[in-house]
Structures are given as structure tokens and as C-alpha cells.
Amino acid sequence: MRGKTILLTGASSGFGRLAVPMMLDEGHTVIAAMRGGEARLREIFADEVAHHGGRLVSVDLHMERSASFADVARKIDEHFGGRLDVLVNNAGYGLLGPLEDQTEAQIRHQFEVNVFGPVLLTKALLPALRRTRGRVLFVGSIAGSIVSPFYGSYAASKHAIEAYAESLRHELTPVGVQVALVSPGSFKTEFAARSLVLSEGSKDPSSRYHDEMRTFERSIRSYGGRGGDPSRVARLITDLCERARIPLRTLIGPDAKAMSALKRTLPDRVRFAAMNVGFRKIMLGT
């Protein structure tokens, strides 16, 4: 297998940070997209830059700045002959908390980064992906199919990406471009510590959700710290860059698999009641 050219967003942290050396070890060329570009690449990946030199480059990418995506496509034209084998849409964050207390700016930003960013980046890079009969991977979430209280905006953004990915797969299968989703449960990345944004209104002591949110925040941060080994997800992403045929959706993590099985087997009424009681007991201690 020849080394592929892979553009990976969110390469600075978590799954992305772990996937970069795996991809390099497999002989691929990695365009590590991150806020801060080359300067940050050299800070975070000093060893990899030293060892893999020309096979690791960076583009400065903010997912909410879609005007810059054409520059990324131009860079691929100039440096890689307009050919890209894999786009991994991994960057994202979670806006959590009661929907009533989220501001319009917060909700719009969640969709800019988790939905419009990957959708428009994919659109900008499709000509380069078509040339190689390449592939597009989306890092979704179990929240892309299962919804709990306080996860509304994040879950809606991940549901949107699931729908987009599935439709794109239908449309691109005839031209040989494969599209796939990775849907992780909870994994111990920096997500719970630095990629969670909480609903603005609940910070106000007069909010009806203020006290619940304080408990929820403690629970969610400690729950994140108990997640699975994130290198498993990084390995899965790397494998999906390489396998000849890839499935539309791969769930990873015991919690993701269990929740998905419950969704398939329980009637909505029962599942909704169980989720509500479980959430209040585990996350709010009530």
C-alpha cells in the first residue's frame, strides 16, 4: 500500500494528537490542521517533525472560518498535485447545558464548528478527493444517535453530521469516494477538561437551572476522566484510512455499544423514561 495523503482536523489534541504519529508510522503524509498552524505543529509534534520531516505539515484552520478553506484546497493543489486521499473531520467541541439557558451566539457557534465547518471543508476538498477516489471520515459521537438532557445542542450537531455523512456516502459511492462515521462513547481525551462549553444563562444564580448545572458540571468532568483509552479511537481512525472497504458507521466504546443496543431494542417511551431517571440519578444526584 502506498503512503496516503491525509488531512486531519483537530490534530492538536485528543484523538487527533494520538492519530498523527500512528499515521506517520504507517508511512502516510499528514496535513495536521489546527489553530496555530506550523508554529503550533512544531511545539506539539517536535519529535515527529524531527523524525518524519517532509511527511508532516500543518495548515492553520479554524473550523468557523470557512473563508479560509479555499486556501487549504489551493495548498493541496500546489504541494500535493491537487490530490488528497483522506479527509478526517475530527475537530469539535460540546456545548452542554439546558437549551433554555444557551445564548443564540453559543448555539450558532456550536453549529459553525461541528457542522458548517466540516460540511464546507469537505465541499472545498471534494475535487482533490475525487481525483484519488479517496475517502472522508467524520468523527461523530454516540450523541449523534442518542440524546440525553443537557446535551441538546451538541447532540443536534452530531445528528446533523450523521445525516450529512450518510447522504454524502449515497452520492459519492458511484464515483468511488467512501464516506464513514466514527461514533465514540466516552474516551479520556482533553474533551471533558477543555472542549466543553456550558450554557451561559445557567451561570447566573437566578437561573432555575443554576444549582443543577453546578452538579452536572462536576459529574461531566469526572465522567470524562473515567472514559476509555483514546488511543483505541486514534487506531480506529488510522485503520479506516487504510482498509479497502469501510462501513458507514463504526461505534466504539462499551457505553456507545450499550446505548445503541438499548435504542434498537427498547420502545421509545421506555427508553425515554429510563434515560431521564438515569440522567437525574447519575449526573444530577437526584
Ligand X SMILES: NC(=O)c1ccc[n+]([C@@H]2O[C@H](COP(=O)([O-])OP(=O)(O)OC[C@H]3O[C@@H](n4cnc5c(N)ncnc54)[C@H](OP(=O)(O)O)[C@@H]3O)[C@@H](O)[C@H]2O)c1
Q: How many residues does the chain have?
A: 286
**Is residue 141 within the footprint of ligand X (CB under 6 A)?**
yes
For ligand X, the closer CB: 141 or 202? 141
Selecting among 93, 151, 154, 209, the annotated active-site residue is 154
Q: How far is the CB of 142 from ligand X (least distance, A)?
A: 6
How many Å is the Cα radius of gyration of the chain? 19
Residues 6+ apart with CB under 8 A from 48: 20, 21, 24, 56
For ligand X, the closer CB: 49 or 233? 233
Over the window 20 to 49, marking each residue x when it contacts ligand X by CB under 6 A and - when it does not, the resulting string is: --------------xx--------------
Over the window 85 to 124, marking each residue x when it contacts ligand X by CB under 6 A and - when it does not, the resulting string is: -----xxxx-------------------x-----------
Q: Alpha helix (H) ranges present in the chain?
A: 14-25, 37-44, 46-52, 69-80, 104-111, 117-132, 152-172, 191-194, 210-224, 230-242, 254-265, 268-283
**Is residue 10 within the footprint of ligand X (CB under 6 A)?**
yes
How many CA atoms within 13 Å lie on the side-chain side of 149?
A: 20
Angle (CA) 198-202-203 rounded to 5° is 85
**Is residue 201 within the footprint of ligand X (CB under 6 A)?**
no
Neighbours of 30 (CB within 10 A): 31
Q: How far is the CB of 285 from ligand X (least distance, A)?
A: 21
Over the window 234 to 263, marking each residue x when it contacts ligand X by CB under 6 A and - when it does not, the resulting string is: ------------------------------
Q: How far is the CB of 227 from ligand X (least distance, A)?
A: 5
Residues 6+ apart with CB under 8 A from 16: 8, 9, 10, 32, 34, 88, 90, 91, 234
C-alpha pair distances (Å), 65 with each of 15, 192, 265? 22, 24, 41
> Could you confirm whether 93 is annotated as catalytic?
no
Long-range pairs for 200-205: beta carbons < 8 A, 24 or more residues apart: 200/101, 200/102, 200/103, 200/106, 201/98, 201/100, 201/101, 201/102, 201/103, 202/97, 202/98, 202/101
Q: How far is the CB of 225 from ligand X (least distance, A)?
A: 11
Q: How far is the CB of 99 from ligand X (least distance, A)?
A: 18
| Sole binder of ligand X in the list 152, 178, 227, 275 (CB under 6 A) | 227
Q: How far is the CB of 153 from ligand X (least distance, A)?
A: 12
Choose the stretch contacting ligand X; rule: CB under 6 A; options: 70-78, 162-170, 184-192, 242-250. 184-192
**Is residue 8 within the footprint of ligand X (CB under 6 A)?**
no
For ligand X, the closer CB: 18 or 207? 18
Enumerate binding residues for ligand X (CB under 6 A): 10, 12-16, 34-35, 61-64, 90-93, 113, 139, 141, 184, 186-187, 189-191, 194-195, 227
Active site residues: 154
